[in-house]
Every structure is written in C-alpha cells, then in structure tokens.
Structure 1
C-alpha cells in the first residue's frame, strides 16, 4: 500500500491524497495531490523531481506552493521513490530509455491533472528539467509555464564526458544497460556527509533530506545504470543543439546555481541565451539543490517564481507558430 513518510522536522503536508497511477507500459507511479491552503486557487503546479529523488524530499516546497495559492501534484518517476522498478535491484537508478519519462508525465496528466484546477504549471529540478525541456521542445509537455531549477544539460561530475558518452552507448548496445555505471554503488548521494557535499550549503535542510532518504531506503536510489547514463547523454546533447532552444515556445524560467558542482551552469546559460520564450536567473552562491538551500537563496528563488507565475490563463506553446528547422535526434 502506498503511503507518505513523516520524519522529525519534515512532516507530511496535511490534506494530501495518494494515488497509484498506471502508465501505458504497466508501471505504477506513487502520486500525491494537495489543494492550496489559501481560499482561492491560482492553478496547479506539478513537481518533476531530479534523479534519485522522492516525494518526501519536497514537503517544504509543497508547503511553499500551497501557501502561495497553488494546488500541487507530486509523483515519483519510475525507477525511484516508491514507484515501480524495471530491475531486480531497487537501489539502481534505472530507466530503459529516457522517453519512458514521457510516459510517466502523460499518465499523471491523464489520470490526475484532469481532476485538478488550471492553469497547469510545472516546477522541474535537474533531471526533471531535462525531461521537461525535451517535452517543451517536442510539444507534448502538458503545462502552460515551466520553471526549471538547475536543469540537467551537462553533468560536471563526469570528467571526460565525451569519452564517457561513447563508453556508455557502447556498453548499452552490448547489452549491459541494466548494470551500474563503472564503480557504481547502491548508496544515495543524499545520505553522504554534509562536509564537501555537492547539493546545498544549508546543514539543517541537508540533514532533513538525508534522514528522509534513510527512511525511504531503496527509494533514494544509488548510482545510475548504464542505460540511464546513455539516455541522459543523448537527451542533453539534443537539447544543447543550437537549433533546439529557439524552437521552445513554452514560457520558461530557468533558475541556475552559480556554484553548481553537479550540472554545468555555463552550459545552461548558453542554452538560455538562445531561448525566445524564456530567460535565466543565476543565483551566485547556490549549489545544485536551490530549493533546499539557505533561506536567503530560497527567498531569491521564490521572488523570481512569484514574478513569473501569475496564476492566470496563459497561451500554450501549441498556439504559437513554429517556423524553426527541426532538431536532429
């Protein structure tokens, strides 16, 4: 039976409803919804997690959104949290192909978003931002505005990305896709010591997230598989193509971390400079997980979010003519 976990200092936001959502390829996704705590509703924000994340990590963000008048939809991607796995080892961060994440979003849209108030908006982090931007590029993302935090357009932790990409694709073709990446371990990055961590500078929020990860157990997955990495390289390369960003007509705000050791902010800035319907804000002192950063950084994020998300009905990207050349796959 699906449930949400309480941990000290991180209680489940009250009033939530848990839903088991089935995808078109028979995965079950743990999904939860909340109504706003205000009298009026400005719309619904769907949270798209980063890799190795889970709903419990977003309780504070859910409270922040509800207090701003938004209903919230949160779900665990396949392969992490309490959603279904395609591999026997639940600690592996695995997806057979990145396009499977599209099936997750569309299943949640069909089963859950149709019951939630509009307009439908999106807040995506890291890998979730990569998936969301791909959906915006291809025209299937079911939201009217997108805020993406530290989107995964490059991975700084990989020293030789070109060689790693070639190796990952080669191993994938040879049938090793469901194995850990070389030297991969089943240990969640969220449970590693605070000192020298790549995620945030706030020790209390870091400890809160680490305890939530320990309670979730295998849901806070360890290192990714070769298939995940090969798919990530392919998705990032496609978005970095010079003709990709200009074709995205969905109103988009990118909030990047100036001290991000996980995803490359200069790459993100170059991508954002080519957007015709979006812009970027770089928070200089922030590390990768801006939503779990120190309060001053979070206040800057929420100020930008509030200015960008008016809560009124907005034109969809389908209503804007697209004249740019297609982007190679």
Structure 2
C-alpha cells in the first residue's frame, strides 16, 4: 500500500494502490476502489494542480456510498508520482499533452482492465482541462464527464494574455524550469484565514495536516514552462474545431466565489460546446470537493444527477436544475451560519 493516512483522513474501505510505468520509466501512482456489489459504473476522479490522492479519500468514500467504483491517479510531478525536476517542490510540465498521455495510459492499462463500465469522469480544475484535451482519445469509453471549476481561464483580475507572454519569454530564454514570478505561496496551504480555496476550516486543516505529515506529497509554485503549457492548453480547447468535435455530454460546475478561475470563461464554454451544461454553486470557493457541506453537497448532487440522467434541462449551455432526490439538503452549521466567502 503506497497511500498515507492521518488521524483525520483514514483509508476508504476497500481501496488499493499501485504504480503505472509511463514513458522513460516515469512512475505514476494510482488507486482503485471496487465494490463487491454491482453498481452504476466507475468514476475516474482527476485532481487539480498540486494535489494528491490522499486529499480525495473523503470523496472516494462518498462515491462508494453512491454505489460507484472509483479509479484515480496522481499526475506526473505531484503527489506520489515521480517528479520532473530535482526540485521536488516545483510544479513542472512542458506540455499538457504529457498529462493526456498519462490519462490515456491509465485508462488503457488500468481502468479498462480492472474497472467495471460504464465510465464517468469527475475532474477538478486542471484535471478538467486535461479531461477536455483527452476526450478525443477517450470519447469511446467515457459516457459523461463532470468538470468542477475547470481551468478554462484565469480569474478576471489576472491578465492571462500577459502571463502567457511572460511565460513564453522565459521559456524562450531557456528559463522554463525556473519558478514563474509572483507565485511564491501558490499550491501550499498556510493559514485558513485569507485562503482562497475553501470556507471549511475542518477540511482545510485536514489537508494541511496531510502536507505537514507527508511533505513528500506536496508541490508548490509552478514553473514558467507549466504556466506556458497551461495557457497553450486553454487556447487549444477554445478552438472552434476542437469544441465542435466534442460528442461527450459535459457538465461544467462553477464555484460562485472562485477567486482563481474565471466563471465567465466556464459559462461561455458551456454555451458554446456541444452537449455542454453549466451549473453555478453560489458562494462556493474554488475547491468544491473540499468546501463546506452546504456547497460540497450541491456539487456531488449535481454530479450524481448528471451521470444518472436526472438533470431536468436538456438544453446545452443553460443553467441547470436537478431533480430532487430523497436526500438531506445541506443546512447551516450548528451556530446557524451559512458561510458566504468573498474573493480574497
């Protein structure tokens, strides 16, 4: 077992893990959870930048409780997978095509061989962007995909064009493996107050404990090459021909108070792409699956409704509603508070 546990983050029941060998001998860590009982299929759970499998133990357990099997992996350069540079803290890749290669390999050698169909994708942030890039190769296998706060554009306060130009310049000067300027603390959890990813203190502290206990899983700042690769990937998925070729039903879920990703870009993409649907979770911050229950449960309910065909609207790109299920609705906490985070 290659997975790490902390007191507040136990292993999901029935999970196993291993390593997959990619090109040039690169080791990619993955985990599988299969239920003995027949279920509605397998969810391929894909992380964002700087995350690790351990951060999603709770979500894997939730998917199991819904009846799904689950498969997940650590992207190259983060979590328990091999790193790309001697500096293990650097988030580095020269092209998002490498992530696509890893995901395609994972599907072909692990998911299709060991997991029960049908297959669904649940992806967060960078994982959502990689999913879009990979769907041309995986469309025959993936029935539906849900992308949570997908990386389709940076927050409106950040000039994405200038960031891309600076990254391109640094890479042209041979400085692609250097940290991108002004990203000193990004990717690291410091203090709950002022954080931009979640309004849930318990989950924040749980994830911080994972980082402190197992620093080898942690990744920090992105390199110039990673930033350029991300900008290039965003441009590619917005190309008219690329969008028109998609045939996989997609649900894009935006976090209403996301200070990192452009919600306008997410909503616009859902309107333009074939079979695209959009849902906004008002008040939620970027990491929807690490958020307070009142937001997190909406995201999980949207996922379940979409993959089981229970979305009430059939018009692509429009705001969606979900058919009510007999489950308890998220309520304010015991102090009567409903967190309404703002952009920080």
Flag whether TM exceeds 0.5 (same fold). yes
Q: Is the 8 A contact 1:81 1:216 kept in 2?
A: no
Change in Cα spacing, 1:104 to 1:134, as seen in structure 2 (3 Å) is same
State the alpha-carbon separation in 2 of the partners of residues 23 and 260 from structure 1.
34
The question of whether the paired residues in 2 share the 8 Å contact of 1:158 and 1:164 is answered with no
Residue 160 of structure 1 is matched in structure 2 by 159
Please point out which of 285, 301, 304 is paired with 1:303.
301
Matches within 5 A, 1:135-154: 135-136=134-135, 138-140=136-138, 142-154=141-153
**Is residue 41 from structure 1 mapped to residue 31 from structure 2 by the alignment?**
no
Residue from 93, 96, 104 that aligns with 1:98? 96
1:79–1:85 contact (8 Å) kept in structure 2: yes
**Aligned partners of 1:51, 1:309: CA distance in 2, in Å?**
24
Q: Give the total of aligned pairs.
A: 307
* Cα distance in 1 for residues equivalent to 2:158 and 2:297: 33
CA separation in 2, counterparts of 1:195 and 1:242? Answer: 41
2:121 and 2:144 in contact (8 A); partners too:
yes
Deviating above 4 A after TM superposition, structure 1's stretches of 4 or more consecutive aligned residues are none
Q: 1:222 to 1:58 in 2, by over 3 A?
A: same
Q: More deviation in 44-53 or 154-163?
A: 154-163
Inter-partner Cα distance in structure 1 for 2:252 and 2:10: 29
For residues 162 and 99 of structure 1, what CA distance do their matches in structure 2 show? 21
- 1:197 is aligned to 195
Q: Which residue of 2 aligns with 1:237?
A: 235
1:156/1:188 CA distance change after superposition, 3 Å: closer
Correspondence list, 1:275-314, <5 A: 275-310=273-308
Q: CA deviation at 1:26?
A: 2.2
* Contact in 2 for aligned 1:168/1:229 (Cα 8 Å): yes
Q: TM-score, normalised by structure 1?
A: 0.88
Aligned partner of residue 177 in structure 1, secondary structure: coil
- Residues 52 and 188 in structure 1, CA contact (< 8 A), matched pair in contact too: no
Shift of 1:144: 1.9
Residue 173 (structure 2) aligns with: 174
Which residue matches 1:125? 124
TM-fit CA distance, 1:188: 5.9
Shift of 1:56: 0.5
- Does the aligned pair in 2 maintain the 1:188–1:213 contact within 8 Å? no
CA distance in 1, matches of 2:51, 2:93: 14
Q: What per-residue deviation string (whole Å, max 9, x for no partner) do you get for residues 248-299 of structure 1?
A: 2111111110110011101110111112212010001110001111111122
- Residue 326 of structure 1 corresponds to none
CA offsets, 1:198-217, max 9 Å, x none?
10111111111111122231
Question: Deviation per CA, 1:113-152, whole angstroms, max 9, x where unpaired?
Answer: 121111111111000000101222x344542211110000
**Unpaired runs of 5+ in structure 2?**
310-344
Which range moves more in the overlay, 17-26 or 145-154? 17-26
Report how far residue 308 of structure 1 moved: 1.1
**Partners in 2 of 1:98 and 1:291 — Cα distance?**
23
Q: What residue is the counterpart of 1:251 in the other structure?
A: 249
Provide the C-alpha distance between the structure 2 equivalents of 1:277 and 1:183, rounded to a whole number of angstroms. 38
Cα RMSD of the aligned pairs, angstroms, is 1.8
SS state of the match for residue 172, structure 1?
Answer: helix
> Does residue 115 in structure 1 map to residue 114 in structure 2?
yes
**1: CA distance between counterparts of 2:24 and 2:259?**
35
The match for 1:325 is none
Change (3 A) 1:217 1:188: farther
Q: Secondary structure at the match of 1:144?
A: strand
Identify if the C-alpha distance between structure 1 residues 248 and 86 changes in structure 2 by more than 3 Å, giving closer, same or farther: same
**What SS does structure 1 have at the residue aligned with 2:25?**
coil
What secondary structure, in the 3-state scheme, does the structure 2 residue paired with 1:19 have?
strand
Contact 1:181/1:226 (<8 A) preserved = yes
The equivalent of 1:78 in structure 2 is 76
> Deviation of residue 242 (structure 1)?
4.4
Check conservation: 1:205, 1:292, Cα contact below 8 A: yes
Greater RCO, 1 or 2 (C-alpha within 8 Å, sep 6+): 1
Q: Distance in 2 between matches of 1:134 and 1:106?
A: 11
Distance 2:148 2:198 in 1: 13
